[in-house]
Structure 1
Amino acid sequence: MHSRIRRAGGFAAVALLSLLAPALGVAAAVPFLVVAGAAAFAIREGPAFELFARPGDRRDRRLNGLAGFALAAAGLGLFATIPRVAMPVRVYAAAVILLAVGNLGRQIARSVTDEEFLHATAFVAVGAVAGVLAQTAIVLQTGGALDFPRFTFLAAVGALAAALLRAMLLARDDPIVMISVGFLLWLFDALAVGVTVEGIAFALAVTVALGYVSYALGTASVPGMLTGVLLGLLTLILGDVGWFLVLISFYAIGGLASKFRFDRKAERGVAQENEGARGTSNVLANSAVALAAVVGYAATVHLSVHGAVFALAFAGAVSTAMADTLASEIGGLYERPRLVTTLEPVSPGTDGAVTLQGELAGLAGALLVGALAAFGMPIGPGLVGGAVVTAAGFLGMTVDSLLGALIEGDRIGNQAVNLLATLAGAIVAAASTPLVIG
């Protein structure tokens, strides 16, 4: 275990080379290229090899992990020096450093506890602090303005995204994680306009608290919790409280619905896997379209598109997810389900099966989201906007059932069907924009 901590510390030390970027300018990638070359071709044994070697490296007699990490950092360094389209240097440094230092925090946590939640928490907390400090160090060198709310937002998003990707991938995939986080932060740096101290403090406090509650109640796995916190944070900052209330209503009610009479649903073969704890794939399948919509809304300052289009798409996607979840979780408790395409009786758990009770529960869920959106989101006149969101949710739920009956199976899984259904709900709602705003 101590060797893992030392190795993580070594990678963190290498990551600090990104802080030389302001002084090196167009040569910002050179230090990492030197490290990559030494790791791949020169270091075969000795203290440096023992410090950085992973199990596979010892077999190959080459520091492949260090070489890959350094090459990824060098690649991002090149993007940070391209004229006119350059990635901000502080974003580049934050992406490299928060990953390496976050992993050091995770390894230290692993040395004292086996609790996966605490490993992820250490990664995010330590990585986020490192990300803020990295951006601060770069700005102090370049003479720019210190914008700690923006720095904190970007560092938190980067640390959450890195922790999530690390949970899904392997340690040797750090280059993929680093590059993904770098481009993600580049995007959000352009969209995060006017982040305030109060706003980021409130967003972090609320999303972290609700993330912990979801994990403690067993409604989300650790990766699912990380995904939910990340999406919630982005929604609060790029949208506002009204958008977040719409999203969190789905997470809260949908999660509790999955737990409702779980044993009975398990007996009938219709219960959520993993004892009802939703993982990353489930959260993203139901929320990816909504996330794309809130990002689109934040980008309207650069687009000639009415913001209501994206607001309605967001609400329509969440309304669909809520309706479909309640229809499945409540409807699965009742007898005599019927196939949506033929209305023939089928066994519980059959793809595309519906019940009257499930349909009513789904409609109630869509109505709730419609009401929240009508009063808290910029979707036009309350009654009309709420009705559109409700109708979009119900239609999206129906699309989910139809897709389940027609195409779900070995090739198309439930998560893909959920994604397509939420997309359908978003399209229906967005297409109604002229009706809503006149």
Structure 2
Amino acid sequence: MFAALCTLAFAVPLGGPVLGAALAAVVVLGAVAVTDGPLFDLLAYPGDYEAGRLYGLITFVLAAATLGVIAVVESMPIAIFVGTVLLVGYGNLADRLGRIWTDSDVLLVAAFCSGATLAAVVGQAGTRAIADGTVEGLEAALPTMIFLAASGALLAALLRDVLFVQDDPVVMLAVGLLGWLLAELEPALSLTGLEILAALVVTVLLGYASYALETASIAGMLTGILLGLLTIVLGGYGWFIVLISFFAIGGLSSKYRYEEKEELGVAEDNDGARGSGNVLGNAAVAIAAVLGYAASSASLLPTDLEPTLFLFAFAGAVATAMSDTLSSEIGSVFDEPRLITTLERVEPGTDGGVTWQGEVAGIVGATVVAAISYALFPAVSTVGAAIIVAAGIVGMTVDSLLGATLEGSVLGNQGVNFLATLSGALCCALLVLSLALLG
């Protein structure tokens, strides 16, 4: 029933926003009128029974209406609106059908993402065909539609994992806004449909490997797949290799002498499997740099903003994440760490505590990122690689300083990671810009 109601989103491209608004009003009024009986049982969320109202359906329709208003007033593509509504409705349907045959979390996530992606592609293609009056031109737009649909499906699956199932309105709004953002970057997309599918296969396989090796939770796996897909499509495989080097090496480092870390009380929770918060805390700045690079390439940013700066900001952020992770995971198993601000001895696991072994591991981590960047990007010279190493060390140091001063009282661990990677990214970009200006 929810999937059928979502299909009514086609009313907007078929009859215009007035017809869409009228249908939404009818559904809302019907939801208000139905307070019990078989129809109520069919449409009610668990919390609706206590209230005696179909508030879940009402908020669901209002969220869809909000996206419709944004599409009409703020120039969000109508295809994004229709694709998003169908994505949520049919993704949920695929999930429910999957529960008939399995209770495996991974398989249910796969069912949701598959159904959601297919529905979103159909929604976008149908809207384009209605607007153009023909199916010609859809083949050329297919890679973009697949990318937008898959990205939205992954974000929806992630939000469903970390939120409640009843939060479908929040999921719908978030997916719609992401689709709108990515649609604006369409001029930066140059991959074919097969290349988009290849990128999906690569990121899904690596994401599942991280889950199977217990270096990432379901949410962490979904976050990694989404970020990897965005990186490949908007940046390229070189950018992805740099990012995946952090995920792979950082994830494996959490398993380094894990039993000893457990005894010391410094081990990662969930047997070292990293969740979405940890992944985003370390990679959000890097992904922002990828988006900035794509926006610059698509001429959505000032023309005097050199796209290469975003490449170095990306490398600086990843170098910081790698340095900090290796420093923490390797340095934490050595005795007698010292607080970075006073150099007094502290207990292992103390925020801001450092060991010389951890510092060396951090420098090695930054060097690995710099070496990969040097090998893959012609824009990264020997001096550029040295700057990336320096940025990684600066970011790692900022992380320790924040840990010793603000973590626990003002900032959480993920906030510290975010600010540290931001400092590494800014340091790297500013150093490169300064050299360019001096040269």
TM-score range, shorter chain: over 0.9
> Structure 1 residues 107-116 or 226-235, which shifts more?
107-116
> Structure 1 residues 364-373 or 30-39, which shifts more?
30-39
Aligned equivalent of 1:137: 126
Distance 2:45 2:66 in 1: 22
**Contact 2:309–2:433, Cα closer than 8 Å, also in 1:** no
1:62-81 CA-to-partner distances (Å, cap 9, x unmatched) read 11111111111111112222
Aligned equivalent of 1:321: 321
Aligned equivalent of 1:32: 24
**Contact 1:381–1:436, Cα closer than 8 Å, also in 2:** no
1:381 is displaced (CA, Å) by 4.2
> Structure 1 residues 245-254 or 14-23, which shifts more?
14-23
Distance 1:433 1:95 in 2: 40
Give yes or no for the alignment of 1:214 onto 2:206.
no
1:283 is displaced (CA, Å) by 0.3
Aligned equivalent of 2:406: 407
Give yes or no for the alignment of 1:121 onto 2:110.
yes
One-letter amino acid matched to 2:235: G
One-letter amino acid matched to 1:371: A
One-letter amino acid matched to 1:207: T
CA 1:235–1:381: 2 relative to 1, 3 Å: closer
Aligned equivalent of 1:44: 35
1:94-136 CA-to-partner distances (Å, cap 9, x unmatched) read 1111111111111222232222122211111111111111111
**Contact 2:266–2:332, Cα closer than 8 Å, also in 1:** yes
1:27-52 CA-to-partner distances (Å, cap 9, x unmatched) read 2333122212221x211233321210
**Contact 1:29–1:78, Cα closer than 8 Å, also in 2:** no
Q: Which runs of 4+ in 1 moved over 4 A?
A: 435-438
One-letter amino acid matched to 2:413: N
Aligned equivalent of 1:90: 79
1:409-433 CA-to-partner distances (Å, cap 9, x unmatched) read 1442111111110011011011123
1:340 is displaced (CA, Å) by 0.9
Aligned equivalent of 1:229: 225
Distance 1:223 1:95 in 2: 21
One-letter amino acid matched to 2:349: G
Aligned equivalent of 2:173: 179
One-letter amino acid matched to 1:160: L
**Contact 2:161–2:219, Cα closer than 8 Å, also in 1:** yes
1:245 is displaced (CA, Å) by 0.6
SS of residue matched to 1:232: helix
The partner residue of 2:293 within 254, 276, 297 is: 297
How do 1:12-31 residues align onto structure 2 when only pairs under 5 Å count?
Answer: 12-27=3-18, 28-31=20-23
Aligned equivalent of 1:3: none
Aligned equivalent of 1:340: 340
The partner residue of 2:160 within 152, 163, 166 is: 166
Distance 1:370 1:125 in 2: 37
TM-score by length of 2: 0.94
Query: Any gaps of 5 or more consecutive residues in structure 2?
Result: none
Give yes or no for the alignment of 1:73 onto 2:64.
yes
1:435 is displaced (CA, Å) by 4.2
Distance 2:253 2:350 in 1: 19
Distance 2:344 2:425 in 1: 30
Aligned equivalent of 1:4: none
Distance 2:25 2:369 in 1: 51
Distance 1:320 1:366 in 2: 7
**Contact 2:324–2:396, Cα closer than 8 Å, also in 1:** yes
SS of residue matched to 1:80: helix
1:287-342 CA-to-partner distances (Å, cap 9, x unmatched) read 11111111011101221211012111111111000000000011112112111111
* Number of equivalent positions: 425
SS of residue matched to 1:172: helix
One-letter amino acid matched to 2:421: T
1:374 is displaced (CA, Å) by 2.1
Query: Any gaps of 5 or more consecutive residues in structure 1?
Result: 1-9
SS of residue matched to 2:30: helix
One-letter amino acid matched to 1:43: V
One-letter amino acid matched to 2:185: L
TM-score by length of 1: 0.94
Distance 2:237 2:434 in 1: 25
**Contact 1:80–1:88, Cα closer than 8 Å, also in 2:** yes
Aligned equivalent of 2:416: 417
Give yes or no for the alignment of 1:366 onto 2:366.
yes
**Contact 1:25–1:81, Cα closer than 8 Å, also in 2:** no
Distance 2:64 2:380 in 1: 49
SS of residue matched to 2:72: coil
Distance 1:310 1:135 in 2: 31
Distance 2:206 2:25 in 1: 42
Distance 1:88 1:120 in 2: 27
SS of residue matched to 1:412: coil
Aligned equivalent of 2:101: 112
1:209 is displaced (CA, Å) by 0.5
1:264 is displaced (CA, Å) by 1.2
> Structure 1 residues 395-404 or 144-153, which shifts more?
144-153
1:231-265 CA-to-partner distances (Å, cap 9, x unmatched) read 00000001011110110000000000001211111
Q: Percent identity?
A: 51
Aligned equivalent of 2:383: 384
1:56 is displaced (CA, Å) by 1.7
One-letter amino acid matched to 1:34: V
SS of residue matched to 1:44: coil
